């Protein structure tokens, strides 16, 4: 079956929307993939950059340290090569206390100390005993490591360095340079040059070429299981400088460096922070230079840059998504507005049509027991409040005498789930006026729970229609009465008589009762007309008719004008005797009118002759005899009544008029 055009259009739009959404998702995925790739590439690039920075810093720090050391050795070599000073020192050491020589040596030591910026300078003999400083005499002996260096220096005739260390000798960490003094080839003593490494060396290490919060370069050396930090740790507030290797985390870059690792190392430092570090050995020393920086700080800038870099495409994407969303929203909003306008217009039309037809609609909620009413339904009920009508309010609007009937109709329709079609009266709430309404309703069934949930329907004010119908009924009744009334005498006519005969014939047949008929004729009426004129003749007939009708006042009795000056009276449940009596009463009543009839051969007044008959109708299987399909057609059997009464009337005329004659057989069997 071909799809309706609207459905095809909807389907194509649906597919179009799906394809668009798929393309959008793919594009978004591509952009995200590109961003991730770019981010990873940038991160890798930054990593290499920081590694290069660490490498450079470590190299510069090491170089600076070497330069400083080299300078110390050069200075020391200058002193070692000063033979004059060596000679003076030799002489003085042989005879300590010679004042002139003392001053000269002290002056030389002082100049040397100031120029080379040593913390302390001592002249000592070949046995390691301290004798002189630039400022005066001294005593004491070289500490053990320096003593060993002195022996090496004197043995090998070279300047010897003792690496930075701590000792009770000084209150600060120091580096010692032992300068051997020779007179010729004879060792005479040495000069002990002491540098406070805090002011000379550490400052070089603490200087980081780029501004970094967490960066630090530290010199470490290993002694068995011990690792000593030769320079202070930047972030260690406890001043701790000696660590047990076995107690340090294995991924600490210092531990890795002590195990022989060199280059870029990753791990966690003594603070437990993730760091990236560069480890390298300081040439001609047991020192390991470790320069490190926190990973978080190292990549913070990168991340910031990346965020800034990402923010542009993300902002663009968000902007784009926002625009698309705004566009879709705008379309939806416009569509909604269109639909609203359409709906409002349709509602206006509906309201208008309902108003024109006086039709409102409602929904009755069985759970809430209330009606939701349209404005026209409100209007019909004359409600002051709008929208909701409770069950109680609805019931009180129905006249008490109608209420039970209306409720039963509703209940039956709901029980049988059949459409509701009913009419009932309501009393308007505003002016108490009685109005007729017609209600058409359908019961809505909730299939899952198999119960009636609500009734939806229309309500129409049909008061005017009802009034028209009533008027029509009244008119029809009046018309029908008129059709059965003789206009002149104002008593029933022949048609009414025939219908009545049919009814009473069947009733008598059912009840097994006799049925009698009187045929009445005014005597010498032609003569009356001729004598008094037709107008007087009419008036005479009217008075005779009234007199006859007055005598046939029992229930079921009917006096009718049979035609011309002839009248009939039908007497149900009346036997022949009773019929005779009734006929006599009528005859006497007419005579009692005492209307002058000058040309009558019977009496001086108007008289009537009456023929009576009485029949007991019985059922006969011959349909033609007593079955009447046409209500106004006298059954053939009933015709006998008229024939017999007519025959009796004829007899009455023959016998001299102004008399009652019964049909020869008093009880005739209809055959």
Contacting residues toward ligand GTP, per CB under 6 A = 521-527, 529, 534, 537-538, 541, 564-565, 653
Q: Within its chain, how far is the Cα of 54 from the centroid? A: 59
- Smallest gap, in angstroms, from Cβ of residue 647 to ligand GTP? 15
Instruction: Please report, to the nearest 10 degrees, the dihedral formed by the alpha carbons of residues 252, 255, 260, 262 taken in order.
Output: 30
Please state, in angstroms and as integers, the Cα–Cα distance from residue 571 to each residue in 512, 517, 665, following that order: 14, 6, 18
d(CA 35, CA 302): 14
Helix axes 576-593, 534-551, angle to 10 degrees: 140
Tokens describing residue 626:
């007593």
Instruction: List the 160-165 sheet strands across, edge first.
Output: 136-137, 130-133, 120-125, 186-196, 174-183, 160-165
Tokens describing residue 413:
């329709």
d(CA 657, CA 669): 28
Q: Give the active site residue among 114, 446, 565, 566.
A: 565
- Smallest gap, in angstroms, from Cβ of residue 582 to ligand GTP? 21
Report whether 239 contacts 231 (CB < 8 A): no
Tokens describing residue 62:
């090491």
Instruction: List the 359-365 sheet strands across, edge first.
Output: 388-390, 370-373, 359-365, 451-461, 434-446, 420-427
Instruction: Please report, to the nearest 10 degrees, the dihedral formed by the alpha carbons of residues 72, 76, 78, 80 taken in order.
Output: -170
- Smallest gap, in angstroms, from Cβ of residue 538 to ligand GTP? 5
d(CA 565, CA 542): 10
- Smallest gap, in angstroms, from Cβ of residue 403 to ligand GTP? 56
Is residue 393 part of the annotated active site? The answer reads: no
Q: What are phi and psi of 618, to 5 degrees?
A: -130, 160
Q: Which is nearer to ligand GTP, 253 or 537 (CB)?
A: 537
Active site residue ranges: 565
């Amino acid at each position: 079956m071909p799809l309706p055009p609207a459905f095809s259009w909807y389907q194509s739009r649906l597919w179009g929307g799906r394809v668009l959404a798929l393309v959008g998702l793919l594009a978004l995925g591509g952009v995200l993939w590109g961003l991730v790739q770019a981010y990873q590439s940038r991160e890798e690039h930054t990593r290499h950059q920081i590694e290069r920075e660490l490498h450079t810093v470590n190299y510069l720090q090491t170089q600076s340290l070497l330069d400083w050391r080299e300078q110390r050795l050069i200075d020391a070599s200058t002193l070692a090569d000063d033979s004059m000073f060596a000679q003076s020192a030799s002489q003085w050491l042989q005879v300590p206390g010679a004042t002139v020589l003392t001053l000269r040596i002290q002056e030389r030591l002082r100049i040397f100390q100031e120029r080379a910026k040593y913390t302390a300078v001592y002249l000592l003999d070949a046995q390691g005993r301290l004798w002189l400083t630039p400022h005066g005499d001294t005593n004491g002996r070289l500490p053990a490591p320096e003593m060993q260096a002195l022996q090496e220096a004197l043995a090998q005739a070279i300047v010897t360095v003792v690496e930075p260390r701590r000792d009770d000798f000084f209150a600060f960490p120091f580096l010692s340079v032992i300068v051997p003094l020779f007179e010729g080839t004879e060792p005479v003593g040495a000069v002990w040059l002491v540098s406070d490494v805090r002011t000379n060396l550490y400052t070089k290490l603490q200087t980081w070429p780029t501004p970094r919060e967490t960066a630090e370069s530290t010199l470490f050396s290993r002694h068995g299981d011990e690792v000593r930090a030769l320079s202070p740790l930047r972030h260690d507030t406890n001043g701790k400088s000696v660590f047990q290797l076995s107690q340090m985390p294995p991924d600490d870059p210092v531990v890795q460096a002590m195990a022989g690792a060199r280059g870029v190392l990753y791990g966690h430092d003594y603070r437990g922070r993730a760091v990236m570090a560069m480890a390298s050995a300081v040439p001609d020393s047991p020192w390991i230079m470790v320069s490190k920086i926190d990973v978080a700080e190292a990549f913070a800038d990168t991340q910031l840059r990346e965020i800034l870099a990402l923010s542009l495409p993300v902002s663009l994407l968000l902007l784009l998504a926002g625009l698309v969303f705004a566009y879709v929203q705008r379309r939806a909003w416009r569509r909604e507005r269109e639909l609203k306008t359409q709906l409002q217009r349709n509602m206006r039309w509906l309201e208008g049509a309902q108003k024109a037809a006086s039709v409102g609609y409602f929904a009755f909620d069985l759970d809430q027991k209330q009606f939701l009413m349209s404005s026209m339904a409100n209007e019909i009920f004359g409600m002051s409040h709008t929208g909701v009508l409770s069950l109680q309010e609805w019931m009180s609007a129905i006249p008490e005498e109608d209420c039970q009937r209306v409720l039963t109709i509703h209940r039956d329709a709901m029980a049988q789930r059949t459409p509701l079609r009913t009419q009932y009266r309501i009393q308007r709430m505003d002016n108490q006026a009685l109005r007729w309404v017609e209600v058409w309703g359908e019961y809505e069934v909730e299939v899952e729970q198999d119960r009636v949930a609500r009734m939806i329907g229309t309500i129409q004010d049909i008061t005017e229609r009802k009034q028209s119908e009533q008027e029509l009924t009244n008119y029809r009744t009046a018309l029908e009465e008129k059709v059965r009334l003789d206009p002149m005498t104002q008593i029933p006519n022949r048609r009414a008589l025939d219908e009545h005969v049919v009814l009473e014939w069947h009733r008598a047949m059912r009840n097994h009762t006799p049925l009698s008929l009187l045929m009445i004729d005014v005597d010498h009426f032609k003569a009356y007309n001729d004598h008094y004129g037709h107008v007087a003749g009419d008036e005479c007939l009217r008075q005779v008719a009234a007199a006859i009708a007055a005598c046939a006042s029992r229930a079921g009795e009917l006096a009718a004008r049979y035609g011309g000056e002839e009248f009939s009276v039908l007497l149900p449940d009346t036997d022949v005797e009773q019929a005779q009596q009734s006929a006599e009463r009528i005859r006497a009543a007419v005579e009692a009118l005492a209307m002058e009839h000058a040309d009558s051969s019977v009496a001086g007044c108007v008289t009537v002759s009456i023929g009576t008959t009485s029949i007991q109708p019985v059922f006969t299987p011959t349909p033609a005899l007593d079955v009447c399909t046409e209500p106004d057609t006298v059954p053939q059997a009933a015709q006998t009544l008229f024939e017999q009464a007519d025959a009796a009337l004829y007899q009455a005329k023959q016998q001299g008029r102004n008399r009652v004659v019964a049909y020869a057989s008093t009880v005739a069997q209809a055959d």
